[in-house]
Structure 1
């Protein structure tokens, strides 16, 4: 197992803060109670570009930050972690192709809403119906976000900077 470098730790910290900030932003969809977290497509794109290990580590840190700030409660963390494990796991297992990325977010959302319904002992149908606009938004925006993160990752790759200095 490779040790994490200072660059890796800084990158994970930046990804965690990005997930936390976008996780705190709720986008209204016009349907009461169905606001959408902006972090869903960003999270799937992060998993595709930076890998599952960095993604899940950054996600845990982001959830901890939001919990400590009082912006999320344990149910929010449950939803986020189920989403991260399912969506990130699909990307890790099946690869970052367009169909996988477009389906990973909605499948992660369905799994998270199902887990929430089980936790609260309520029907999952209304929760899934309220999540539909967010699922469509995630499926449509994840690919451009992945392309953006790939460009940023290529331009900031640490190996290039080390070679230039040497």
Structure 2
């Protein structure tokens, strides 16, 4: 029963990342829009753990590549974001402060990497992402609380002997 639950959670998390990843906050410069999945990604990592987070993220990227909504470059940037978020949350033991700062830090570092690749100004790319970073810093803790509540409710609604 536990494997079924894990597969189901990963499937749901993958779908959530894929759908919210397709919705972007527009920006002045085409190509550097901010994905609404950023705070969701931070919350998934904090609540469900890095393993489910990275599996869901990789599956979401594969779906995006298959559908043509993502490029190899966007997947590489997303993977960098995911690894940085996971590293920060791991180092800081999922404290609320790390949940608030991990998304913006990962976003800034991903923008700097992108600027090196495309040869454009790193500072400008980071500055243009500030509204999305603020949104991530504010929304991630709220999503963490919602996910924790959902997980808690799910654990209490299933008889313990079925979870073994």
State the TM-score, normalized to the length of structure 2.
Answer: 0.90
Aligned twin of 1:97 = 95
For the residue of structure 2 that corresponds to 1:122, the secondary structure is coil
Stretches of structure 2 lacking an aligned partner (at least 5 in a row):
none
1:115 lines up with 2:113 in the alignment: yes
Maintained 8 Å contact 1:117/1:127: yes
Aligned twin of 1:125 = 123
Query: How far is the alpha carbon of 1:164 from its aligned partner?
Result: 7.0
Alpha carbon RMSD of aligned pairs, Å? Answer: 2.0
Query: How far is the alpha carbon of 1:13 from its aligned partner?
Result: 1.1
Query: How far is the alpha carbon of 1:78 from its aligned partner?
Result: 1.3
1:1-166 matches, within 5 Å, as: 5-28=3-26, 31-33=28-30, 35-157=33-155, 161-163=158-160
Maintained 8 Å contact 1:90/1:100: yes
Maintained 8 Å contact 1:47/1:92: no
Count of equivalent residues: 161
C-alpha distance after superposition, 1:117-145 (max 9, x if no partner): 12223321221111111001101111111
State the TM-score, normalized to the length of structure 1.
Answer: 0.89
Stretches of structure 1 lacking an aligned partner (at least 5 in a row):
none
